């Protein structure tokens, strides 16, 4: 019609704006409303396979252990990012767990990194997803469980854990290699929940789409410890007006405030557990730092204390000093094999 009729472009442009709109009004193509409805249907169909992931909402108390002591102690580490983990911080963290024997260990999200499934560009020749999963098992989960056999260990879902699980559902190109080398393990086995008797804290709905919706869902991943502390991967957790902590931003910030039930309180944004000069970010500009947290609470009175452990080339925990060894100096030697 357009090529063979004598009607000029200006004729339909004057009445319809574009030839595409002319075809819509003629009933030849879908209207804007019809097309929008089709797109919405397609979006929902495209995420239906994620809904099976929501079974993880029920994994939060699988290995819950009760302690009869009045005072509870929670050891908190965040953002280890698998093989990018700072070897010195990890040594101090595990030795602290051995000395302290906490009632709870909170791994506050992004314990995995797995850049193979990330938005950051990584040379595919350097992919080693199975090796990174095994690293977390062998150098973080297993040492913690062996050091603290009676502790509750909670893994709070961060954006990297959710990204990994969604990649499994999407059959991302790296997934077959990962599952083949790890012998086709299940999601629970991949996270190490049964092997190391850990609880997985997740309330996010994986079946969402859009740029903002996944992050808004991740804000639902939190846990309250002993009706006093809130553990959250993201900063909005401090809106609960309770003492607690978040990770994700890799730099230590403290917000003091007053709670009429608990008195003077603090909310801590934790430093990271990984080397601060990751190649995908200017760490100095971002203000990244390393550290972890120890929180104490009297379950009866809710009297509480929080100790933040800053980790540089040295650290001090309960009066004991630790110093980075030459082998742990990744700035000089590169990240060592722990």
Decide if 88 contacts 225 (C-beta within 8 A).
no
pLDDT for the residue 338: 45
pLDDT for the residue 280: 57
Rounded to an integer, what distance in angstroms lies between the CA atom of residue 338 and that of residue 294?
A: 24
Decide if 169 contacts 53 (C-beta within 8 A).
yes
Q: What's phi and psi for 317, nearest 5 deg? A: -125, 115
pLDDT, one tens digit for every residue, the chain (338 residues): 778 888 888 887 888 888 888 889 889 999 999 999 998 888 778 778 777 788 899 999 999 999 999 999 999 999 999 999 999 999 999 999 999 999 999 999 999 987 776 666 666 677 788 888 999 999 999 999 999 999 999 999 998 898 888 877 776 666 766 766 676 578 888 899 999 999 999 998 877 766 666 677 888 899 999 999 999 999 989 999 999 999 999 999 999 999 999 999 999 999 999 998 766 555 555 789 999 999 999 999 999 999 999 999 999 999 999 999 998 987 777 664 44
For residue 115, what are its two tokens? 């850049």
CB atoms within 10 A of CB 75: 25
Q: Which SS3 state, helix, strand or coil, does residue 87 take? A: helix
pLDDT for the residue 281: 59
Provide long-range contacts, Cβ within 8 A and 24+ apart, for 116-120: 116/172, 116/174, 116/178, 117/163, 117/164, 117/167, 117/172, 117/174, 118/160, 118/163, 120/280
């Amino acid at each position: 019609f357009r090529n063979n009729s004598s009607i000029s472009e200006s004729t339909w442009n004057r009445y319809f704006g574009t030839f595409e709109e002319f075809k819509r009004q003629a009933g030849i193509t879908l209207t804007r409303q019809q097309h929008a409805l089709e797109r919405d249907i397609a979006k929902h169909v495209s995420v239906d396979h994620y809904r099976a992931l929501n079974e993880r909402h029920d994994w939060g108390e699988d290995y819950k252990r009760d302690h009869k002591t009045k005072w509870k102690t929670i050891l908190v580490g965040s953002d280890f990012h698998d093989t990018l983990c700072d070897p010195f911080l990890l040594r101090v963290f595990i030795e602290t767990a051995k000395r302290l024997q906490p009632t709870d260990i909170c791994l506050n999200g992004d314990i995995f990194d797995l850049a193979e499934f990330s938005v950051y560009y990584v040379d595919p020749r350097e992919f080693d997803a199975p090796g990174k999963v095994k690293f977390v098992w062998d150098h973080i989960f297993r040492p913690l469980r062996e050091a603290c056999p009676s502790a509750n260990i909670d893994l709070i879902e961060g954006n990297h854990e959710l990204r990994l699980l969604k990649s499994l559902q999407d059959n991302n190109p790296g997934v077959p290699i990962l599952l083949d080398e790890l012998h086709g393990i299940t999601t629970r086995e991949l996270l190490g929940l049964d092997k190391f008797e850990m609880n997985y804290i997740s309330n996010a709905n994986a079946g969402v789409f859009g740029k903002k919706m996944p992050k808004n869902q991740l804000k639902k991943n939190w846990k309250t410890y002993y009706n006093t502390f809130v553990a959250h991967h993201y900063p909005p957790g401090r809106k609960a007006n309770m003492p607690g902590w978040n990770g994700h931003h890799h730099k230590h910030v403290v917000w003091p405030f007053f709670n009429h039930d608990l008195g003077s309180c603090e909310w801590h944004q934790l430093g990271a557990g990984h080397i601060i000069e990751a190649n995908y970010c200017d760490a100095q500009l971002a203000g990244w730092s390393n550290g972890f947290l120890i929180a104490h609470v009297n379950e009866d009175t809710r009297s509480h204390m929080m100790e933040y452990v800053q980790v540089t080339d040295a650290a001090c925990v309960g009066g004991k000093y630790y110093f980075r060894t030459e082998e742990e100096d990744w700035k000089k030697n590169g990240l060592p094999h722990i």
